Each structure stands twice: as structure tokens, then as C-alpha cells.
Amino acid sequence: MKKAFFSCVILLIFITGLPAQEDAGGDYVIREEDVLSITVRDEPEYTVKERAVRMDGRVTLPMLGEIHASGKTTKQLESEITERLKYLVREPIVQVFVDRVFSHRVTLAGKVGRPGQYALSSPTTVLDVLVRAGGPTADAQVKKIKVVRIENGVERQFMFNYKDVLQGKNMKQNILLENRDYIMVP
């Protein structure tokens, strides 16, 4: 009974996102469909909230027009906007926030409730996606789940033991997923 209760508590923590995992800050690469907020300190007329990056990779900003955002990190976009604003604002301080990530998707296959593609709208772990998919089926080999990732043309595999993570063991295997990761539940 205690083990079942503990497992439910761990699962609830992951579902509610209490152990929040942040994105890589300035290292995040912006993609089409991502939603950004851009703040210019003390200049509300240049600030925008929840502006989607269009499919052409551009975002439209007040007084600056279109700026190509896709493929740039948040820090690179901050620098470009700061440079453009120097002609309009004295010493602009710009911050770019990624409100929602819609461009990243992972594929979940095998013995889960709802296999398929899942959008990553925020930093997401393996357990997060498994929970969204209804979890592994009763006949799944939950100790042999694999995450396959292609990095620079090289395939990497990460093992994930669902049972261990639910019991709070070996939590480092509950990695943050990246765009195009493939999760296989045998």
C-alpha cells in the first residue's frame, strides 16, 4: 500500500510540474510556431506579448517591422533587436522569452495507451510524455524503454526504467526530450 501511495505521489509531482526544469535560457534555438514575448525595459510601446513566429521564420515588431527569428538563439535575437532599437531608444534593454514551444515534437511508439507524435510546448521529460500517452500498457517491458536521438548525424540511445522513476530511483534517466526524439516502449 505504501509503495502504491509513493508511486502516486511521484506521478502527481511530475504531472503538476513541481520539479520545474528550465530551458537552456539563451541557448534555446527559436523555431517556426514558437510563441515569444519581447520586453524592452521602460518602453512599453516596443514590448510585445505572445507573438508567434510565422512559418517564414519571421516575427513582426512595433516600429521595427519584420525580424527573422527562426534558427537564432534567444540571446542572438535579443542582440539583434537591441541593435535595431539603438536608433529609436537610448540604451535599450531587451529580453526575449519563449512562452510556448510548438515546433518541437517527439514520437512515442510501442506499448502505450496512445502512441503517436506529441508536441513539446515546454521543457518535457520522458515521464511527462509517457503520462500524456496514458502510460505503458500492462504487457509493456517498462524496464527497457529506449529514447533514440540523432545528434550531428549520430544515433544516441538512452535507457529509461519507468518502474525505477516512479519509485524515485535513478531520476537522471528522466531526461529532457529534444525535437525529433523517438521513444520506444517494447
Q: How far apart are CA 97 and CA 40, in angstroms?
A: 12
Structural domain includes residue 19: no
Last residue of a domain, one of 75, 100, 125: 100
What pLDDT is attached to residue 153?
A: 87
Give this prediction's pTM: 0.54
Residues 108 and 79 occupy one common structural domain: no
User: For residue 151, what are the domain limits?
Assistant: 103-185
Is residue 11 predicted with pLDDT exceeding 70?
A: no
| Number of compact structural domains in the chain | 2
Same domain, 177 and 111: yes
Q: How confident is the model at residue 104 (pLDDT cuts 50, 70, 90)?
A: confident
- Above pLDDT 90, what percent of the chain? 66
Q: At 79, list the grid cell.
A: 542582440
Q: Kindly report which listed range (119-128, 147-156, 165-174) carries the lowest average pLDDT score.
A: 119-128
Residues 42 and 66 in one domain: yes
What is the per-residue DSSP string for 128-145? HHHHHTT-B-TTS-TT-E
Beta strands 145-151 and 154-160 are antiparallel
Domain boundary among 100, 118, 149: 100
119, 181: one domain: yes
108 plus 181 within the same structural domain: yes
**What pLDDT band is residue 166 in, cutting at 50, 70 and 90?**
very high
pLDDT attached to residue 117: 92
Each residue's pLDDT tens digit, 26-83? 567 888 888 999 999 999 999 999 999 998 999 999 989 999 999 899 999 999 999 9
Q: What secondary structure letter does DSSP report for 18?
A: -
Whether 95 and 141 map to the same domain: the answer is no
